[in-house]
Amino acid sequence: MQIVLRGAAAGYEAEHTARIFFPGAEKATQIPEEGNFVLAVSHEKTDFVLLRLNSALFWRTAVRTPEQDAEYSLCRLLYGLLREQTGQNPPWGMMTGVRPVRIIHDLRAMGATEVEIEDRFLRHFACTPQKFSLARGIADLQRPVLEGADPMDCSVYAGIPFCPTRCSYCSFVSRTVGDKATRALVQPYVDNLCRELTAIRQTADRCGLRIRTFYIGGGTPTSLSAAQLEQLMSHIAATFDLASLDEYTVEAGRPDCTDPEKLRIIKQYGATRISINPQTFSDEVLHNIGRRHTAQDIIDCFAAARSAGHDNINMDLIAGLPGDTVEGFTHSLEQTIALAPENITVHTLTLKRASNLVVEHRAAAYDDVAAMLSRCDALHQAGYHPYYLYRQKG
């Protein structure tokens, strides 16, 4: 599927409206002679959209009044055509952004009533009542936190761009520590990161900023040696006022490089939250994505984290990994719930151009992802409540 856009109002939103229905569609400058394509045309007073699907043509036109927003009108026309011809009813409707909850916060800040906000979601965006209810519940939970924030509050993120191996779905900028050339970079990187963190603390003090949260992510921070991890975390403890932080998180990440010694170091130097990310509890799927550990290794790592005193643990799962099934994902979800981490994060697989799954053209079919996500009702039954939401795109 290709996307062709014409006119001033036919831009980003129209392109991504088409991708709601055809996620892998590519933007084209000319109408292709063969194959499927979507055409969206915005004139001064009229809009025209056309779909060629399996050699059949479908189109719609509309006259736009001066009061109507040109971009929205074109997207609405396109959305209606594609929903009709594909039979899909996207649960988030026309929304193309990644943070629907932010819209609720923004509308409330502008003085909109709750009825007006609901109308915006259900009528303007064609969002389903279930998704609006989810977004509003999360917005309600976040509201007191946001209202208590100060403009001079800030957070610090320290990135470790190294991993034991690169997962096949990953597009983050990182290097694998398995090769000699990369290993030679790690110690100089840690040394310079410590210097940079000192400068950040000095700058924050000079500007009157208050650091509220600290996050060490990656990459995989525990791909550092125990000595390097201790060097970094002891420097952070000596440089920042950890007692004033609301949260201090370290991505412990993968069990193939997270051992009891590193878990002890993370706890000793003040981290209040860690993340252990199985992604799946299927050994076959772990192999498919390039992980060099087993599901049992994940369970053992979690037990070691508890033994080290970690009492605030997040675990990530991904729905739609290559080779996974609805039953397999359900097993992973049940296993995660059985471990009883404090937080569980469920992502859906999104393939970026830089990931090996795309580069090697090994992307699997993900028709079962919706069914996988429906199994997440088990989280509610287990007492977990959603507190953050973002929509995957691509």
Q: Which helix (H) or strand (E) holds 252?
A: strand 247-253
Among 146, 144, 42, smallest CA distance to 99 is for 146
* pLDDT tens digits, one per residue of 187-206: 999 999 999 999 999 999 99
* pLDDT tens digits, one per residue of 127-168: 999 999 999 999 999 999 888 889 999 999 999 998 877 666
* CA 2/CA 168 separation, integer angstroms: 26
Cβ burial, residue 164 (10 Å; 0-12/13-18/19+): buried
Cβ–Cβ < 8 Å for 224, 232: yes
Which residue ranges form the domains of the chain, and what is each CATH number? 2-86 (3.30.160), 100-146 (no CATH), 150-381 (3.80.30.20)
Residue 98: its pLDDT value, please?
Answer: 87
pTM of this structure:
0.84
Give me the helices (H) in the chain, please.
Answer: 12-21, 70-86, 100-109, 114-119, 129-147, 180-207, 226-239, 260-268, 283-288, 295-307, 326-339, 356-359, 369-374, 377-381
Among 255, 330, 325, smallest CA distance to 285 is for 325
* CA 239/CA 214 separation, integer angstroms: 12
Residue 219: its pLDDT value, please?
Answer: 85
Report, as ranges of residue numbers, the positions in the chain whose pLDDT lies below 50. Answer: 352-366
Residue 236: its pLDDT value, please?
Answer: 98
